[in-house]
């Protein structure tokens, strides 16, 4: 049963995602992947994707000192706050162009006086998404004789026919209309720049751009913008784009997300029911007695009795080198200032004291025989080094 269900789920056709994302990253019907892919042909100068608010973007690029540019917003809803307008309006006034295509507009009252228009819709076209055989004749056309076509540019799928219902023709120019000759594409001159506004963003989606001559319509609309650096907005569609990790991908896929949740739940249940002790208590075994210290005392007494101080000093030095290699992880022992500095950092002992210790070691290594007093001094200095290293380690570990 599990295998059969898995095969059915794997081979089941994926439903079409009709969400109006208007994102250049989405290849779904109401994404903008096709349009963004063609932008370089429309604006050969430069096209940049923006993943931050209007205020941040215009502040980042320092538009006051840059060449004129275009700013494109295509979304189902366009929201302009007062703070963003304080940056966007001067941006246009100084000779830049802003293109906005949206169905729903939310503009602060203070800015609405500058962009004085209303949007209405002339009835419902489709309450639900029609099938692919449905032909919708409602669409758009241009007023200019060189751009206008006989049959216009019909939309394949759309719900409403939005249009600009309130216009001040003194400073607004109607560039395009719908089938009922209602304006749906206008130009508002502002300072040395201009706003180009469309209330039919569906024309710019993947689905409609691939329908008949809609790609031509989009090209004609964007041809009203000058050929200059163009900023494509993504922030107001998908928000600030985050880095894509394997966990973000897993959580973005429903099947993988539930697999992760079930795995975590199984792990918790396993810990709850299987973490109990399942064997007898292991008896405590006393460790073998350490006789190393007795052995060392015996050997050292033998060397002292034979008065072979040089041999015993060499072994003390050898033990010190082995301690430095195994405990302080300094493999190459050299009589250099760089080595003394690294040993000081590792051990926590002052560099001057380390130099004095190794100077004493060098003097003893150069001799064939040494006195018992020299051996005592060497032993004392090495023991002091060990003690200081242990003390520094205790301080470090709290």
pLDDT band at 188 (very low <50, low <70, confident <90, very high): very high
> Which pTM value belongs to this model?
0.59
Q: What is the dihedral of CA 287, 293, 296, 297, to 10 degrees?
A: -140
On the CB side of 298, CA atoms within 13 Å amount to: 5
Mean pLDDT of 367-390: 85
What is the C-alpha to C-alpha distance for residues 140 and 158, in angstroms, rounded to an integer? 12
pLDDT tens string 91-102? 999 999 999 999
Structure tokens at 168: 């001040």
Question: Per CATH, the architecture of 12-241 is what?
Answer: 3-Layer(aba) Sandwich (3.40)
Domains of the chain by residue range:
12-241, 246-276, 301-396
Q: Is the dihedral of CA 285, 288, 289, 290 positive or negative?
A: negative
By mean pLDDT, which of 89-103, 176-190, 237-251 is the weakest? Answer: 237-251
Q: Name residue, tokens 């790609």.
A: 215
- Top mean pLDDT of 116-130, 172-186, 233-247 is at 172-186
Q: 117 or 30: whose pLDDT is higher? A: 30
Average pLDDT, the chain: 83
Residue 345 pLDDT more than 60? yes
By mean pLDDT, which of 179-188, 247-256, 315-324 is the weakest? Answer: 247-256
pLDDT band at 159 (very low <50, low <70, confident <90, very high): low
Q: 10 or 269: whose pLDDT is higher? A: 269
pLDDT tens string 333-343? 888 888 888 88
Q: Which residue, 119, 177, 188, is CA-closest to 147?
A: 177
pLDDT for 277: 59
User: Buried b / exposed e across 322-348, counting CB within 10 Å, b at 16+?
Assistant: eebeeeeebeeeeeeeebbebbbeebb
Q: 184 or 392: whose pLDDT is higher? A: 184
Mean pLDDT of 288-304: 66
pLDDT band at 75 (very low <50, low <70, confident <90, very high): very high
Residue 128 pLDDT more than 60? no
What is the C-alpha to C-alpha distance for residues 356 and 362, in angstroms, rounded to an integer? 10
What is the C-alpha to C-alpha distance for residues 205 and 20, in angstroms, rounded to an integer? 9
Would residue 223 be called left, alpha or beta, if left means φ above 0 and alpha means ψ between -120 and 50 degrees?
A: alpha
Residue 129 pLDDT more than 50? no
pLDDT for 133: 46
CB neighbour class for 386 (10 Å; exposed up to 12, middle 13-18, buried from 19): middle
Q: Which residue, 156, 207, 159, is CA-closest to 28?
A: 207
Mean pLDDT of 191-196: 94
pLDDT for 107: 77
The full length of the chain comes to 398
Helix (H) or strand (E) holding 176: strand 172-178
The DSSP call for residue 30 is: T
pLDDT tens string 106-116? 876 556 666 77
User: What are φ and ψ of residue 146, in 5° steps?
Assistant: -75, -20
β-pairing verdict for 153-154 and 118-124: unpaired
Structure tokens at 185: 């594409």
3-state secondary structure 90-157: HHHHCCCEEEEECCEEEECHHHHCCCCCEEEEEEECCCCCCCCCCCCCCEEEECCCCCCCCCCEECCC
- Whether residue 361 contacts residue 324, with contact meaning beta carbons closer than 8 Å, is answered with no
């Amino acid at each position: 049963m599990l295998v059969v269900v898995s095969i059915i789920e794997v081979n089941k056709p994926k439903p079409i995602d009709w969400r109006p994302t208007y994102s250049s990253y989405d290849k779904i019907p109401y994404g903008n992947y096709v349009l963004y892919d063609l932008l370089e042909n429309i604006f050969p100068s430069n096209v940049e994707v923006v993943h931050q608010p209007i205020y941040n973007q215009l502040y980042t690029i320092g538009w006051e000192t840059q060449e004129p540019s275009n700013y494109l917003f295509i979304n189902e809803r366009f929201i302009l706050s007062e703070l963003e307008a304080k940056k966007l309006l001067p941006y246009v006034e100084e000779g830049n162009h802003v293109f906005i295509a949206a169905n729903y507009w939310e503009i602060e009252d203070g800015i609405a006086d500058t962009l004085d228009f209303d949007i209405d819709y002339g009835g419902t076209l489709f309450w639900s998404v029609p099938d692919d055989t449905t032909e919708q004749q409602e669409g758009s056309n241009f007023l200019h004789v060189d751009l206008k076509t006989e049959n216009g540019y019909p939309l394949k799928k759309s719900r409403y026919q939005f249009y600009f219902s309130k216009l001040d023709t003194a400073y607004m120019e109607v560039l395009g209309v719908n089938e009922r000759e209602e304006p749906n594409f206008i130009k508002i001159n502002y300072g040395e720049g201009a706003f180009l506004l469309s209330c039919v963003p569906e024309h710019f989606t993947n689905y409609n751009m691939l329908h008949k001559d809609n790609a031509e319509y989009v090209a004609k609309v964007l041809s009203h913008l000058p050929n200059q650096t163009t900023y494509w907005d993504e922030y107001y569609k998908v928000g600030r784009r985050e880095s894509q990790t394997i966990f973000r991908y897993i959580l973005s896929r429903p099947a993988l997300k539930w697999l992760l949740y079930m795995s975590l739940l199984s792990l918790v249940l396993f810990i709850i029911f299987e973490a109990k002790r399942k064997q007898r208590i292991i008896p405590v075994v006393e460790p073998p007695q350490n006789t190393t210290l007795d052995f060392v005392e015996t050997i050292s007494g033998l060397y002292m009795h034979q008065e072979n101080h040089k041999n015993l000093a060499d072994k003390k030095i050898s033990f010190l080198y082995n301690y430095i290699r195994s405990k302080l992880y300094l493999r190459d022992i050299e009589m250099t200032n760089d080595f003394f500095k690294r040993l000081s950092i590792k051990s926590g002992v002052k560099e001057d004291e380390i130099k004095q210790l190794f100077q004493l070691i060098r003097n003893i290594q150069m001799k064939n025989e040494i006195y018992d007093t020299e051996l005592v001094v060497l032993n004392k200095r090495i023991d002091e080094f060990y003690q200081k290293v242990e003390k520094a380690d205790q301080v470090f570990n709290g």
